[in-house]
DNA sequence: GCGACAG
DNA sequence: ATCTTGTCGC
């Protein structure tokens, strides 16, 4: 059963005359933190699920258009733009197998398979992957290049419909299928792969770069453009500087100021590499803020999407 | 007062 | 990620 069906099942459990809060639905899905991602997912299923109009934010405000009118018909007291005292109508007795909790367990299992030893020290080739989106249609690109000259050797593109929304912490369940398809379309396996997203710098120590590295059995490095987890004590001085990011006191990656921008990138091992080597090899391919292989894959995926859009 | 939640 | 215009600077 896919995520959207699981969400539909939950929402369908909300009885007429009652409402449900985002946080409680997220809880029923197995991760309270997923609440922030639900409005978008609810909009996606709303066509086939009228009960989605019974879902409210914690402050009693509606998510979907038409919610207040629908609730009025159901006999829920609406005042102004919100449901006053929504708590009184709250439904919480959801029956669920908590799909996100299951996925978290898969990540934990995957984390145990991660190898934090160097599988490469001097890669001959490097590759980068990235995804662009048209709704839930993913366009993934993979670029293979010479690690020394940074000349492109080969490119591949793949289009895949995804059935999983973007939820922080669960990115791999959305992007892994398209990325794998693009990666496998390359004429050769790269010695090292850069992935757009974190590696072990992840709540379950298993971000998309780790999962991809395990699945494809190659060394991978995760490159996050924004913070996800970890403690950072020291400050990053200037361009080219890096500071460790720790989880439980252990160095899991680095915040690296790769460009003039004050926003660093977050480097962490995906698989078959140490944090230190990941930092060194990333430095070697950063001509701008983002490693070249990823930057090129990003450009490729985006251009492909745009070309399709105005055709 | 308490939070940093990738793309 | 995507939606968007002009604009500042190398």
What percent of chain A lies above the pLDDT cut of 70? 99
Return the pLDDT at A30: 95
pLDDT reading at A310 higher than 80: no
Q: Which of residues 19-78 of A touch strand B (CB under 7 A)?
A: 33
Q: CA A311 → C1' B3, Å? A: 44
Domain boundaries of chain A, sorted by first residue: 3-97, 111-309
A175-179, A241-245, A254-258: range with highest mean pLDDT: A175-179
Q: CA A155 → C1' C4, Å? A: 30
Burial degree of A161 (CB within 10 A; 0-12, 13-18, 19+): exposed
A202-216, A222-236, A259-273: range with highest mean pLDDT: A202-216
pLDDT reading at A29 higher than 90: yes
Return the pLDDT at A79: 82
Return the pLDDT at A103: 96
| A197 nearest nt, CA–C1' | B6
pLDDT reading at A4 higher than 90: yes
pLDDT reading at A160 higher than 80: yes
Return the pLDDT at A8: 96
Q: Which of residues 127-166 of A touch strand B (CB under 7 A)?
A: 130-131, 133, 166
pLDDT reading at A311 higher than 70: no
Banded model confidence at residue A300, pLDDT cuts 50, 70, 90: very high
| A225 nearest nt, CA–C1' | B6
Q: Which of residues 184-213 of A touch strand B (CB under 7 A)?
A: 196-198, 202-203, 207-209
Q: CA A64 → C1' B6, Å? A: 26
Q: CA A57 → C1' B1, Å? A: 21
| A32 nearest nt, CA–C1' | B5
Chain C: positions less than 7 Å from a protein CB are 1-3
| A266 nearest nt, CA–C1' | B6
Return the pLDDT at A240: 87
Decide which of A309 and A63 is more confident: A63
**Mean pLDDT computed over A259-270:** 92
Chain B: positions less than 7 Å from a protein CB are 4-7
Q: Nearest CA to A24 among A85, A89, A92, A71?
A: A92
The span from the CA of A65 to the CA of A62, in Å, is 7
Average pLDDT of the residues of chain A: 94
Q: Which CATH number fits domain A3-97: 1.10.10.10, 3.30.43.10, 1.10.1660.10, 3.40.50.10440?
A: 1.10.10.10
pLDDT in tens, A138-149: 999 999 999 999
pLDDT reading at A82 higher than 90: no
Q: CA A141 → C1' B1, Å? A: 45
pLDDT reading at A75 higher than 90: no
pLDDT in tens, A92-108: 999 999 999 999 999 99
Q: CA A123 → C1' C3, Å? A: 39
Which CATH architecture does the domain made up of A111-309 adopt?
2-Layer Sandwich (3.30)
| A196 nearest nt, CA–C1' | B7
Banded model confidence at residue A135, pLDDT cuts 50, 70, 90: confident
Work out if A119's Cβ lies within 7 angstroms of strand B. no
């Amino acid at each position: 059963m896919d995520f959207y069906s699981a969400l539909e099942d939950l929402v369908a459990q909300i009885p007429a005359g009652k409402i449900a809060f985002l946080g409680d639905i997220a809880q029923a899905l197995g991760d309270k933190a997923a609440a922030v991602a639900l409005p978008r997912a609810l909009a996606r299923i709303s066509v086939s699920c009228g009960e989605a109009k019974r879902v409210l934010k914690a402050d009693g405000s509606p998510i979907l258009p038409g919610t207040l009118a629908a609730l009025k018909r159901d006999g829920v007291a609406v005042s102004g733009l919100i449901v006053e005292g929504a708590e009184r109508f709250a439904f919480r007795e959801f029956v669920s197998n908590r799909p996100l909790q299951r996925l978290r367990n898969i990540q934990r299992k995957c984390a145990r398979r991660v190898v934090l030893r160097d599988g490469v020290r001097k890669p001959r080739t490097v590759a980068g992957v990235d995804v662009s989106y048209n709704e839930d249609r993913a366009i993934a690109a993979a670029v293979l290049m010479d690690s020394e000259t940074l000349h492109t050797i080969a490119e591949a593109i793949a289009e895949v419909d995804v059935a999983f929304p973007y939820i922080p912490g669960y990115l791999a369940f959305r992007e892994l299928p398209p990325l794998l398809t693009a990666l496998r379309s390359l004429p050769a396996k790269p010695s090292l792969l850069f992935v757009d997203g974190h590696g072990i710098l992840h709540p379950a120590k298993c971000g998309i770069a780790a999962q991809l590295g395990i699945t494809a059995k190659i060394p991978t490095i995760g490159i996050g453009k924004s913070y996800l987890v970890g403690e950072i004590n020291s400050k990053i001085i200037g361009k080219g500087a890096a500071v460790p990011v720790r989880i439980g006191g252990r160095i899991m990656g680095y915040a690296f100021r790769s460009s003039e921008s004050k926003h660093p990138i977050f480097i962490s091992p995906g698989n078959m590499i140490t944090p230190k080597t990941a930092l060194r090899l990333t430095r070697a391919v950063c001509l701008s803020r983002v490693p070249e292989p990823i930057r090129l894959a990003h450009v490729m995926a985006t251009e492909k999407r745009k070309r399709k859009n105005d055709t």
